[in-house]
């Protein structure tokens, strides 16, 4: 139960009254959920469960509200052995007993526990989702690392030294990365940490990242964001609700053909870069004739020198899959007709526009 909720104590013979109170907590939980107030809904369901621990409706209601904050990808990510092994190797290379470690976005506490296992004596594990932070505390306690790891249940950008951490950390570990590298806000998170939470010479893991993009032909990828005439009806108006930005998809699950070489679009130095908008333009020479449906992009991440991670199409096991931005309409491309590819990011999301530059004289 949340610490700020009062325990409800009722006389033992008041079972009818208890049932009514439980039903009222559940009713309020559902109403709050429908209004999008998931944290408040969780509190109501917790109150119901405090009175009737086996109440299935309250359990499902609480779980439904928690799921709004805890995406399903957590499980797939945790089973990505390559990700875990590479972070583990990188962490054990840099952690020393005299180093103070900050793990931003600890999730289950995994990377903090790796740091503790590597010999760290002080780790601050911060997690912005309270339900996740509460579970991380339990996992860390059960693993016997609670003397070393302190869980802070707030977003790192709300943390300050010494209120949330006794002193600035000299190692930052973070895996706050989505399929397109920036989508979990890593640039702003690390920039804030450099300013408020880290020593001037702190080691930052990951140290750098790069985003690559490639033009592809793939009807089935395009169909993930586009509909036309089907079953005798014109459904194309539904495309006004289609995604203008990227979504994740596994390229190897589609029939696809490359129409350009992969291009490096953005490079980030996590020791220096912040979330300021950036824009880059590229002249792309198509490598084949075809219909360009989408721009597929991915990252390469440097953890420490010699240890890196990628979700490129050549690494089909990666739980991150690839980032896909479908073009509004397929674009006919030919090797003799270069395209202008405009790439922008706003610190969180990368977005492309592609325009044909017409035929060039050989
Ligand atoms: C991709 S998961 C990684 C979890 C864990 N580090 C691991 O490697 O298994 C990222 C986690 O970071 C949390 N998060 C993202 N940005 C954060 C921030 N700035 N402060 C605190 N938590 C953050 C999310 O809620 C999520 O639980």
Give the pLDDT of residue 7: 55
Which homologous superfamily does the CATH classification assign to the domain defined by 74-175? Vaccinia Virus protein VP39 (3.40.50.150)
The domain ranges of the chain are: 17-67, 74-175, 208-356
Give the pLDDT of residue 359: 58
Per CATH, 74-175 and 208-356 having the same topology is answered: no
208-356 domain in CATH 1.10.3080.10? no
Distance from C-alpha of 310 to C-alpha of 301, rounded to nearest angstrom: 6
Give the pLDDT of residue 12: 57
CA 175 to ligand 1 centroid distance, Å: 7
Low-confidence ranges of the chain (pLDDT < 70): 1-14, 359-362
Query: Is the alpha carbon torsion for 197, 199, 205, 206 positive or negative?
Result: positive
Give the pLDDT of residue 278: 97
Mutation choice for ligand 1 from 70, 73, 87, 106, CB with most ligand atoms inside 8 A: 106
Give the pLDDT of residue 9: 58
Give the pLDDT of residue 321: 97
Residue nearest to atom 14 of ligand 1 (CA): 105
Give the pLDDT of residue 4: 47
Give the pLDDT of residue 344: 97
| Cβ 174 under 6 angstroms from ligand 1 | no
Query: Is the alpha carbon torsion for 172, 175, 178, 181 positive or negative?
Result: positive
SS (H, E, C) 174-190: ECCCCCCCCCCCHHHHH
Cβ partners under 8 Å of residue 128, min gap 6: 105, 154, 155, 156
Mutation choice for ligand 1 from 78, 87, 128, 180, CB with most ligand atoms inside 8 A: 128
Q: Which atom of ligand 1 is nearest to the CA of 177?
A: 1
Give the pLDDT of residue 13: 61
Give the pLDDT of residue 80: 98
Give the pLDDT of residue 142: 98
């Amino acid at each position: 139960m949340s610490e700020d909720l009062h325990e409800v104590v009722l006389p033992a013979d008041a079972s009818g009254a208890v049932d009514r109170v439980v039903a009222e907590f559940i009713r309020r939980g559902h109403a709050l959920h429908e209004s999008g107030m998931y944290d408040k809904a969780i509190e109501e369901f917790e109150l119901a469960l405090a009175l009737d621990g086996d109440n299935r409706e309250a359990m499902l209601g609480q779980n439904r509200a928690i799921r709004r904050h805890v995406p399903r990808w957590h499980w797939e990510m945790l089973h990505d052995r390559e990700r875990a092994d590479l972070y583990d190797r990188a962490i054990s290379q840099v952690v020393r007993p005299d180093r103070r470690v900050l793990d931003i976005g600890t999730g289950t506490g995994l990377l903090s526990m790796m740091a503790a296992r590597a010999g760290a004596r002080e780790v601050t594990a911060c997690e912005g989702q309270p339900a996740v932070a509460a579970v991380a505390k339990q996992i860390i306690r059960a693993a016997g690392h609670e003397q070393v790891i302190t869980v802070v249940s707030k977003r790192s950008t709300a943390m300050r030294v010494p209120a949330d951490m006794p002193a600035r950390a000299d190692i930052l570990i973070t895996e706050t990365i989505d399929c397109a590298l920036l989508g979990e806000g890593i640039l702003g998170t690390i920039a804030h940490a450099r300013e408020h939470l880290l020593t001037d010479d702190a080691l930052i893991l990951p140290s750098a990242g790069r985003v690559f993009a490639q033009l592809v032909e793939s009807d089935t990828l395009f169909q993930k964001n586009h509909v036309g005439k089907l079953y005798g009806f014109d459904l194309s108006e539904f495309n006004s609700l289609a995604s203008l930005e990227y979504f994740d998809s596994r390229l190897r699950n589609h029939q696809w053909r490359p129409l350009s070489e992969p291009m490096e679009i953005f490079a980030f130095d996590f020791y220096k870069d912040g979330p300021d908008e950036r824009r880059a333009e590229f002249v792309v020479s198509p490598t084949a004739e075809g219909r360009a449906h989408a721009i597929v992009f991915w990252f390469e991440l440097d953890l420490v020198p010699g240890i890196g991670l990628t979700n490129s199409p050549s690494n089909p096991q990666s739980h991150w899959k690839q980032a896909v931005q479908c073009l509004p309409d397929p674009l006919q491309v030919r090797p003799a007709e270069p395209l202008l590819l405009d790439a922008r990011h706003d610190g969180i999301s990368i977005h492309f526009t592609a325009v044909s530059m017409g035929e060039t004289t050989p």
